[in-house]
Amino acid sequence: MTLLLAVAAGGPVAVAGPAVADAPGTATPVSCSPAEPATGLPARTPVGDWSENLGFDTAGDLWVARTYRNAVERYDRGGHLVVSVPVSSPGAVRLGPDGLMYVTYGNSPFAGLAGQGGVLRFDPAAAVPQPEVFVSGLGQANGAAFDAAGNLFVADTTADTVERIRPDGTLDTEWTERARNALAAKGSGADGIAAAGNILYVTLLESPTARIVALPIDDPARADVAVDLAPAPLTAPLLPDDLAVAADGLLYIATGSGQFVRADPVTHTSCTLLSGQPLTSVAVDPSDDHTFILGTEGGDVLKAHLR
């Protein structure tokens, strides 16, 4: 698939050179190689087009959550804007096992404190998608991931937990409370989620060591540290945001400090593939598992290819 996207609004991308450096305090896996950035479409309005999260539908089209525009936008494989779906403060955009797109909403501290977060879903193939509420009453609903059984997991940032939502839309409150207790022992600021088998990988945005937690789905009380991107707390934190698990089993993490990071949850090591503008999210190109699509705070959607 020919994809998008990567110029900074009003000028060239800060990562235009293949800058590669170890994340502070971490070891670099031998397999880590620099990513090659591409150029493409810029944000229409810098910052106003903040690209909070990304997801692909079954047709291979890209959906981008534009938090400040209160919309989720669909781009075709040529990078053309096709559809805009109204969503209040959207967060994660995920393709469900039923072929529908699921979008977290209320991804703001104000909505979180008021319990106005939740999940919408709609048919991505519809000419005019009609979003319906799948679940409501959450806090600041941010990252999301499905497991193999069709359960949806949502990072509730204000509640500092991961919500488990059954396929019928009911909340598994007992599981969620166990996850809350387990995460509280590891840090705070649950933000991004990626699923791999029985494990949920959860980023802790507020962790001084930029922590990624491995949360077992069958027993969240056994949560463990997958990796600390900066084992020694930094003056300027890395701010791990969204992440993805690629076919190689490694974690690919977007950080608010502008690093695109690869981490190995087995060896607990990591390295920086690119450095540049603040990143929000990452998705694997479904037609090329060596290519990653990155969201940014400035609104650009970037493309990075691994050699």
Residue 5 pLDDT greater than 60, yes or no: no
Confidence of residue 10 (pLDDT cuts 50, 70, 90): very low
Q: What is the pLDDT of residues 117-176, one digit of tens each?
A: 999 999 999 999 999 999 999 999 999 999 999 999 999 988 889 999 999 999 999 999
> In the sheet where 161-165 sits, what is the strand order?
141-146, 152-156, 161-165
Those residues with Cβ within 8 angstroms of residue 16's Cβ, 6 or more apart along the chain or in another chain: 37, 39
Task: Give helix then strand counts, H and E, for the chain.
Answer: 2, 23
Q: Percent of the chain having pLDDT more than 90?
A: 76
Once rounded to an integer, what is the mean pLDDT over residues 16-26? Answer: 32
Tokens at 109, concatenated: 């501290």
- Residue 127, judged by CB atoms within 10 A of its CB (0-12, 13-18, 19+), counts as exposed
Provide the token pair at 256: 């608010």
Type and span of the H or E element at 39: none
The most distant pair of C-alpha atoms in the chain lies apart, rounded to whole Å, by 50
Which range, of 2-6, 79-83, 239-243, 285-289, averages the lowest pLDDT? 2-6
Greater model confidence, 2 or 192: 192
Q: Which two tokens stand for residue 279?
A: 């990143």
pLDDT at 22: 33
Q: What is the pLDDT of residues 189-221, one digit of tens each?
A: 999 999 999 999 999 999 999 999 999 999 999
d(CA 72, CA 89): 9
Contact 86, 73 (CB under 8 A): no
Q: Check residues 78 and 281 and name the one with the higher pLDDT.
A: 281
Give the percent of the chain with pLDDT over 70: 88
| Residue 44 pLDDT | 86
Other C-beta atoms lying within 10 Å of the C-beta of residue 109: 11
In which band, very low, low, confident or very high, does the pLDDT at 24 lie, cut at 50, 70 and 90? Answer: very low
Closest by CA to 141, choosing from 150, 129, 152, 131, is 152
Instruction: Kindly tell me if the per-residue pLDDT of 41 is higher than 70.
Output: no
pLDDT at position 38 is 72
- d(CA 140, CA 147) in angstroms, rounded, equals 21
pLDDT score for 35: 85
Which of 191, 218, 231, 2 is CA-nearest to residue 91?
Answer: 191
Tokens of 275: 């450095």
* pLDDT at residue number 236: 73
pLDDT of residue 6: 40
Angstrom distances, CA of residue 115 to CA of 53, 173, 206: 21, 15, 21
Tens of pLDDT, residues 265-276:
999 999 999 999
Instruction: With beta carbons less than 8 A apart as the criterion, state whether 255 and 239 touch.
Output: yes
Cα end-to-end distance, the chain, whole Å: 17
Listed in sequence order, the residues at least 6 apart from 195 whose beta carbon sits closer than 8 Å to its beta carbon are 145, 146, 147, 153, 201, 217, 245
Residue 127 to residues 56, 70, 102, 122, Cα–Cα distance (Å): 17, 19, 17, 11
Is the pLDDT reported for residue 33 higher than 70? yes
Question: Which has the closest alpha carbon to 64: 50, 44, 47?
Answer: 50
According to the model, what pLDDT value does residue 32 have? 67
**What is the chain's mean pLDDT, rounded?**
88
In order of 256, 278, 281, the CA distances from 92 in angstroms are 16, 17, 9
Residue 69's pLDDT is 96
Residue 17 has pLDDT above 70, yes or no: no
Query: What pLDDT is stored for residue 298 in this prediction?
Result: 94
pLDDT at residue 180 tops 60 = yes
- Average pLDDT, integer, range 39-62: 88
Report residue 307's pLDDT band, with 50, 70 and 90 as the boundaries: confident
